[in-house]
Amino acid sequence: MVVIPTHQRRESLARVLDALTRQRCPAGAFSVVVVCDGCTDGTQATIRDREFPFELTLLENDVAAGPGASRNRAIESTAAPIVVFLDDDVIPREDLIETHAEHHKRDDKLVVIGPLIPPARIGQPWIRWEADTLLRQYREMEEGAWAPTPRQFYTGNASVRREHVVAVGGFNAGYSRGEDVDLAFRLQRHGLSFMFEPRAIATHLARRTFRSWLNAAREYGRVELSMGPVFGDRGLVDVKVIEFQRRNPVVQRTVLWGLRHPRVAPAVLAALGLIARSLSAVRAWKLARGAYTAIFELAYWRGVEDAGGGSRSPLQSISEGLERLRSERVGATLRR
């Protein structure tokens, strides 16, 4: 079963469904459930006016309930043993479903993650930054630098047996972002392992405004703070601090300054956005990428601040974490 939640993306969804008609699986090998989540753009009529070589079930939420709730409804509507999650702007390659399914036939306690590949041309530089970040992760996983974790489980292109999703209670419908990663950590605790399958390719036709991208980064900070315990004994904040300390020193200083001066942080973000887009326009991509990293990090940590910041403010957490990591490195050097 392929599960696709959609909201106001009629044309994009049509391209996804077109690609599914070209899958190499024999007729009847899979079904599709589309959940129209508060759609008012004619998506429902577009689907009903077409015939497909696979069984398609159309579910409708009168009011937008979010992707997590929509996926839960789709899973409840069928008893299909394997669920392949796709987004409504993701174009699957002809062998995607077949590739996902073959792994679950061999291992019934597996979560399969497929790559989301950008199209040949990306018009929005902040989307290019996202794509480059993902491609770097895929490359490192393929090279064996590290194994996939729940944090790489994006429901744009992933699969798992339905019974396991049901067993852990499905998606948390209260999360506006990161509901897929939250589910993945619960699947891990349920005993499932994760694998990255580079052959299960899908093209991600991502488009969003700069403001929408910025808001998403901040929302991830708000939501992921509440997921802290699932990221390990040290909690999410410490994990994010470890990642932050790997950033370019200029990025670190910019983010820390913005957190120390919250009243001017919006102006800092606006200025960084202008700088990043200007650098992108003149193809100074390495510098632009650093600017977009600083923008994302600052917006993310402001979201953590919005959510209460835990027992410490984000600024305290980062500063203390960086100092602790520096001390650990000095101590390791002295012990050699």
| Choice between 315 and 187, residue whose per-residue pLDDT is larger | 187
In DSSP terms, which residues pair with 203 in a beta bridge? 91, 117
Cβ atoms of 86 and 157 closer than 8 Å: yes
pLDDT at 122: 87
Give the Cα separation of 293 and 281 in Å (integer): 17
pLDDT at position 159 over 90: yes
pLDDT at 334: 32
Q: Find the mean pLDDT for residues 224-245.
A: 64
The per-residue pLDDT for range 246-285, each reduced to its tens digit, is 888 888 888 888 888 889 999 999 999 999 999 999 999 9
The helix or strand, by DSSP H or E, that contains position 333, with its residue range, turns out to be: helix 314-335
Q: What is the pTM of this model?
A: 0.88
Give the Cα separation of 97 and 84 in Å (integer): 7
The CA-atom distances, in angstroms, between 209 and each of 91, 112, 124, 186 are 21, 30, 8, 32
The per-residue pLDDT for range 76-125, each reduced to its tens digit, is 998 899 999 999 999 999 999 999 999 999 999 999 999 999 998 888 99
- Specify the CATH number of the domain 2-207: 3.90.550.10
The helix or strand, by DSSP H or E, that contains position 131, with its residue range, turns out to be: helix 125-142
- Please report where in the chains the tokens 């909690």 appear, as a residue: 235
SS3 call for 153? coil
**What is the band of 237 on the pLDDT scale with cuts at 50, 70, 90?**
low
Q: What sign results for the dihedral spanned by CA atoms 239, 243, 246, 248? A: negative
pLDDT at 196: 97
pLDDT at 330: 39
The domains of the chain are located at: 2-207, 211-335
Mean pLDDT estimate for the chain: 88
**What is the band of 191 on the pLDDT scale with cuts at 50, 70, 90?**
very high
Give the Cα separation of 69 and 47 in Å (integer): 21
Q: Find the mean pLDDT for residues 194-206.
A: 96
The residues, ordered by sequence, that sit 6+ positions from 298 with a Cβ below 8 Å of its Cβ are 254, 255, 258, 259, 265, 268, 269, 272
pLDDT at position 154 over 60: yes
